[in-house]
Structure 1
Amino acid sequence: MSGSSFLLDGQPVPFEEGQTILEAAKAAGHYIPHLCWHPDFPPHGSCKLCVVKVAGRHVSSCAMPAKAGWEVESDTPEINSERRTLLQMLFVEGNHFCPSCEKSGNCQLQALAYDLEMNTPRFAQLFPDRPVDASHPDVLLDFNRCIYCELCVRASREIDGKHVFALTGRGIHKKLAVNAESGRLADTDFAAEDRAASICPVGVILPKRVGFAVPIGKRTYDAEPIHVVAMQGETEGDHE
């Protein structure tokens, strides 16, 4: 340990050289909300839910290196209000119908909405209408729920070595795509055992034949809120 520390909501947090604010906070047992950050990959700050306030600036804690003496604000009304707005935007950009979703209770987006007390979206629903890919024998893809965290893209490329997924387009035209000429998951070497198959924080990549094997009410985030689960050592995104 370097002996350096910063303050997070008034609490001292030690850090090692090169650690980000989020990494140091998590190592010290402090939860900062996040969706796209994963310990297996370098941060790229796409979801912005890990936003914190440092010296009057709002920054992504997953990508901001910690600095000695900083006073960092995270769990405040101002920052949590910004996070709720970001969550509301994510909800209306996709078809996140929690009561009928197989991922309900295991979904990090849903769990964060409960944790941050996001009750109803204030933006107009976009209702994307993208085809569902049921071509693979073991996995179903619902592209309408994608939040563009890129975790499946990175896991397939960097861990599985298969390059099955990619993001195409920009802005409201961005979408998750399958790297096959046909665009079908069945025409790739994707397997249900791949790391990419279990890393999705929402309900895009779903194993077939097990959707409601664990009843709603007895799932990961039904038992305990996400800020508790995230501090218990589970691998991010492995809640099926």
Structure 2
Amino acid sequence: MSAGTFKLDGVDVAFDDGDTLLAAAQRAGHHVPHLCWHPRLGQSGACRVCTVRVDGRWAAACTTRAAAGQVVENRTPAIDGQRRLLLQLLFVEGNHFCPSCEKSGDCLLQATAYEMGMTGPQFEEFYPNRPVDASHPTMWLDLNRCILCKLCVRASTEVDGKAVFAIGGHGVGAHLLVNSPSGTLGDSAFADSDFAASVCPVGAILPKRRGFAVPVGQRRFDRAPVSAQVEPQGDREGGHGR
């Protein structure tokens, strides 16, 4: 039995004790745009793309607990406009060349940008000089595409129990770190069977020798927009089953 309901864009959504707004909404089949949330992982609030208005106040849906009677605004022109601005900043901070990226069509960042009506960069691109780590025998790490969502950090710590990844630096200097003597993926405990190997929402962590195995036009977000593909809820939020 649910603990109560809240209103999401005028629709009643049931929630259980401990649910966040995002977890309850997704389980009920309502899409809340996000990049750093996953049902198997704990709360983060890293990207803020899931920001909504709760009883008139701004809040991150992935960290805000659901409560009976809340009135939540999710998909309004003003809120989507703020999300579009955040996405614009993420795109110009990295090197995201979607037409040549093998994650194109299966990339949550790209799909969310389409959903928010983003058609191109609004700001001048940074074009940072970031490395590509191909030292691992079966996986590679392209920091040009990393959006610092911390999903791989949390997956490696919470699910895999390895703590392979971490975030270092501050501000524009923030970057992903690999926990190994040399700082490279090939010298770490990382394995292609790890949950962290498959959780990246962009093309920063990908398997080798499998590029474009699924043709462009037949990939996940080629088939349907992200708002029509609510993630499966096999594990409760925060459940760290291996």
Match of 2:7 in 1: 7
Q: Where do residues 102-117 of structure 1 align in structure 2 (5 Å cutoff)? A: 102-117=102-117
* C-alpha separation in 2, matches of 1:152 and 1:69: 35
Residue 24 of structure 1 corresponds to which residue in structure 2? 24
TM superposition shift of 1:189: 2.1
Counterparts of residues 25-64 of structure 1 (less than 5 Å): 25-64=25-64
Contiguous gaps of at least 5 residues in structure 2: 236-242
CA apart distance, 1:70: 1.4
Per-residue CA deviations over 1:118-171 (Å, capped at 9, x if unaligned) read 111212211111111111111111011111111111111221122211111111
| Aligned mates of 2:193, 2:51 — CA distance in 1 | 33
Aligned-residue offset at 1:28: 1.5
C-alpha root-mean-square deviation of aligned residues, in Å? 1.5
Q: Residue 17 of structure 1: CA displacement?
A: 2.0
> Unmatched 5+ residue regions in structure 1?
236-240
1:38-187 correspondence runs (5 A) = 38-187=38-187
Contact map agreement 2:156 2:162 (CA 8 A) in 1 = yes
Q: How much does 1:62 deviate?
A: 0.7
Using structure 1 for the length normalisation, give the TM-score.
Answer: 0.94
Counterpart AA for 1:156:
S
Q: Note if contact 2:145-2:202 (Cα within 8 Å) is conserved in structure 1.
A: yes
| Paired positions, count | 235
**1:231 Cα deviation (Å)?**
4.9
**Are 1:198 and 2:173 an aligned pair?**
no
User: What letter matches 2:16 in structure 1?
Assistant: E
How many angstroms apart in 2 are the aligned matches of 1:3 and 1:142? 43
Answer whether contact 2:27 2:233 (CA < 8 A) is retained.
no
**Cα distance, 1:202 vs. partner?**
0.4
Per the normalisation by structure 2, the TM-score is 0.93
Inter-partner Cα distance in structure 2 for 1:128 and 1:230: 33
> What displacement does 1:3 show?
4.9
Aligned partners of 2:30 and 2:230 also within 8 Å: no
Q: Amino acid of the residue matched to residue 17 of structure 1?
A: D
Structure 2 SS opposite 1:14: strand
The residue number in structure 2 matching 1:238 is: none
CA distance in 2, matches of 1:149, 1:184: 20
CA contact (8 A) 2:136 2:186 kept: yes
Q: Which runs of 4+ in 1 moved over 4 A?
A: 231-235
Q: Counterpart amino acid of 1:37?
A: W
Read off the aligned partner of 1:60 and give its amino acid letter. A
Task: Report the Cα distance in structure 1 between the residues aligned to 2:181 and 2:232, rounded to whole angstroms.
Answer: 41
Residues 100 and 23 from structure 1, CA distance in 2 versus in 1: closer, same or farther, beyond 3 angstroms?
same
- Quick one: structure 1 residues 8 and 207, their matched pair in 2 at CA, closer, same or farther if it must change by over 3 Å? same
Q: Distance in 1 between matches of 2:160 and 2:15?
A: 31
Question: Counterpart of 1:166 in 2: which secondary structure?
Answer: strand
- Report the AA paired with residue 127 of structure 1: Y
Give the deviation of 1:44 after TM superposition. 1.4
Percent identity, aligned pairs only, is: 56
Deviations 1:58-109 (A, max 9, x none): 1101111112111111111011101101111111111111000011011000
Secondary structure, in 3 states, of the residue corresponding to 1:144?
coil
Tell me which moved more, 156-165 or 96-105: 156-165
Secondary structure of 2:166's aligned partner = strand
Supply the distance in 2 between the matched residues of 1:173 and 1:231 (Cα, whole angstroms): 32
Bigger RCO of structures 1 and 2 (CA < 8 A, at least 6 apart): 2
